[in-house]
Chains A and B, each alone.
Chain A
Amino acid sequence: MKQYLLAVYSDEAAPMSDEQIQASFKAVDEFNGQLQASGNWVFAGGLHPIADATVVRAQGGKVVITDGPFAETKEQIGGFWVIQAQDLDAALELAAKGSEACGWPVEVRPFQDVPEA
């Protein structure tokens, strides 16, 4: 089994309506349940908006702390799943379900090493 990060890219400037948010929470909950039942689940989480982000740069004992996200881009990571899957095709199939559930594009990134289960 390989592990993959499924990163959700959302546009905070295009907020969803309350009904959309409720519907997406419900769909994501159901998807999480499916991941756990199928054994693909490793970890997942939703993130607070970039207004709450802080960047830390440390080099040679000197620490610089700045407010805000690392990159000022339109689309930011809004949440993620870490899954285990047989291969990329299996990961892409799950990513498609995740994208459908949360309503945003999902980037699939393989992990470098799979920790021993």
Chain B
Amino acid sequence: MPASLRIGWTVAALLALPLPAAAQSRTATISVVIAATARLSVSPAGISFPDSDPTGVPLVAALPGPVGITVKARAAHGATLRLTLRATDDLRSGVTTIPAGTLTWTAAGDGFASGTLTVADQTIGTWVGSGVRTGTQSFLFQNSWSHPVGTYTLSMQYTLSSP
């Protein structure tokens, strides 16, 4: 068989084979923006302490029950979140006052802390990083025969912050 014929057959056989296709690749960039944001919910918006005999009920529990708190926050990686509570004033009934410090609370929930109400910020919760945290505050009023008769009110302010 002439050499030229053998070459012809070889080339023909190679061309008849299915060719592996070169893979085509394209890239795209994904960009996700997560803005720092927070949502704080406190429920109910108001609590009350019914009149009670100071001898029989030295500590009056709030009605309708514990205050539920939900903290939702997106913070920078590793950032500390702090939830504080302060009274805007003492309990006031006209010109008569009862110190805000007669109100205490017991906290439940990861990161929540128990404490005593004052007109200065009290930390009621600290956490690190983003997430959703829930807890409760069960308020108690320190009853006393010394409290003048009246209907007392105060406002409480919750503040969630991150440095």
Whether A and B are associated in the same complex: the answer reads no
